[in-house]
Amino acid sequence: MNKMKKLSYLLILSLGLFSCEKNDPELNNVIGNGVTSNAEALALANAVYGPLQTLSSSYSFLVESGTESTISFEGTEDKDGPLVSRLETAPMNWYPIKVFSRLYKSIGAANIAIARISAAEVSSDFNQATKDLTIARTKFIRGYDYFNLVQLFGEVPLIVDTAAINKSRASINDIYIQIVKDLTEAKAGLPLFDNNRSNPSRGAANAILAKVYLTWGQNPLTQSQVEAIANSSGDPAHSVDNAKLEKSVAFADSVINSGKYDLQTIFNANFGRSQENSKEHIFTIHHDGDGVDAQGNHQTHCAYTNKFDMKTDNHIGPADITLIGRFNDNDTRKKYSYTTALVNPADLKTYSFTWPVTTSRYGKFIHRASIGSDLVVDAQPNDIDHIDFRYAEVLLIKAEALFFLGRTSQALPLINQLRERAYGNSQFNLATLTKEDLFKEWELEFTFEQKHWTNLVRWKNLISTVKTVEGFEYFKAKYASEASIAANFPGVDVNSAFFAKVYKHLHAKYDNVKGKFYRFPIPLGEKGENLGITPQNPGY
């Protein structure tokens, strides 16, 4: 491992939650006296990415399973994935622990990098361009880290230097102010565009700022507001801040008008190893796979765990057969969003991922022989980059901001751009745009791309949406147990244990969903320690 990579890994490993610097002799020997070369500055900046690589699949279990649309059977029913899936999430659950901890590890690395690089003097081995770029990249990631934290956990400690650790929770507004500050300052040192979409650019910063103002502009719930609804089965009122939504539109326009990004002509051309850095990708988390980077992207593995072993529980998957019916048959997004048939390369037979054996699979990240093919490539890689932002999201961000500003006629063409791509023509364009149309387009475009939970929280309809499981096929009483399935489907070889478990998860979601689920709990530390961050989120 070269010096730059070694330093990056040392930083990642040496950072505990809320860490500033640990007394690692080799680490301190390299950076203790400041940055002296371009390589050292780049290594410090690169260290902020490692913790994010460990979250590319963990987000799926936390934010996908926490909705009506996804269930997790990873391990026995008392394991972390199934607990989130049944909305029995608690501070000791590994997924909130991991997400919270790793985001702060990234922030800790960012604080070190900003301090060291800023203090370093330019020299023949360390030029001003590298100094500006590495500080900008680091502030970009820190701002993005805090945006993820505030959406998932609400008020969190705001730590932006390497001084004594502050465990008091900052206000929602203060956190958003810091996010905007970091991303705005980052833009000054970033290139307008980077062919490697894992490198921050001004385009990526503008895209995130558009989403930041879209979210902030819909008045995120404060601790006291969550407290008021923690045990309620009703959603809170939705309201908007027009000035912030106008800023969302402006930042979205900066991305759109840059001319650097565009929709892929074919929707499916966004996904897979060969499609990395496509013209639609704006920001991604790079992965080289297990044993090479901090952690491979298991998003693909977890959604397609056992391949053609049809009766072994998948780690994570769609919660019901009715979900696929939300897509028109002519919508090209349908096949990749909910895959029901694949060809096994071992025997070239088509296998159906349907009742009575199993449910459909999230298909966007299944490794196929070619774009649109049903033939699976035998190796299922975990070196596929995680797509955090693509151009389609910017169109939806702008459309949503315009819709809530009352400018529906301006929002409609943006939605129809996506629909024309999905259908290949304008035959299915919308003539009018309702709130329900807008919400559905987000769902159709971004199935299993970790947008759904944050959308529901932003729109203040999380509870009512989770409650829609009451209308799901597998919510019906005939699926309640293996015995009832056998009685209702005589002579049919049903994978009864599987479908009875689906029923259990759907009923648990319906029974357990309350206002407290507008946030995840402030978790324990990775070693099970109490982090001393108070107060806990309401209801936990």
Q: With bands split at pLDDT 50, 70 and 90, how would you rate the model's confidence at 157?
A: very high
3-state secondary structure of 59: helix
3-state secondary structure of 281: strand
**Conformation bin of residue 69: beta by default, left when phi > 0, alpha when psi is -120 to 50:** alpha
The whole-angstrom separation of Cα 499 and Cα 121 is 64
User: Which residue is associated with the tokens 């500080």?
Assistant: 135
What are 164's two structure tokens? Answer: 């004594």
CA quadruple 420, 421, 424, 425: dihedral, nearest 10: 20
pLDDT in tens, 103-152: 999 999 999 999 999 999 999 999 999 999 999 999 999 999 999 999 99
pLDDT in tens, 53-112: 999 999 999 999 999 999 999 999 999 999 999 999 999 999 999 999 999 999 999 999
Amino acid 312 reads T
Question: What does the longest C-alpha to C-alpha distance in the chain come to?
Answer: 80
What are 321's two structure tokens? Answer: 């057969």
The mean pLDDT of 184-208, rounded to a whole number, is 97
| Residue pair 218/212 in contact by the 8 Å Cβ criterion | no
What single DSSP character describes residue 62? I
Amino acid 195 reads N
Q: With bands split at pLDDT 50, 70 and 90, how would you rate the model's confidence at 23?
A: very low
pLDDT in tens, 520-531: 999 999 999 999
Taking the CA atoms of 305, 306, 307 and 313 in sequence, report the sign of the dihedral they define.
Answer: negative
The whole-angstrom separation of Cα 202 and Cα 343 is 42
Q: With bands split at pLDDT 50, 70 and 90, how would you rate the model's confidence at 300?
A: confident
3-state secondary structure of 169: strand
The structural domains of the chain, ordered by start, are 1-310+381-540 (1.25.40.390)
Sequence-ordered list of residues with C-beta below 8 angstroms from that of 347, at least 6 positions apart, any chain: none
What single DSSP character describes residue 220? P
Reference 472, options 322, 318, 316; nearest CA is 322
**Conformation bin of residue 277: beta by default, left when phi > 0, alpha when psi is -120 to 50:** left
pLDDT in tens, 24-37: 444 444 445 579 99
pLDDT in tens, 326-347: 999 999 999 999 999 999 999 9
The whole-angstrom separation of Cα 258 and Cα 252 is 10
Please, which residues bridge with residue 71 across strands? 317
| Residue pair 383/291 in contact by the 8 Å Cβ criterion | no
Amino acid 471 reads G
The whole-angstrom separation of Cα 232 and Cα 230 is 6
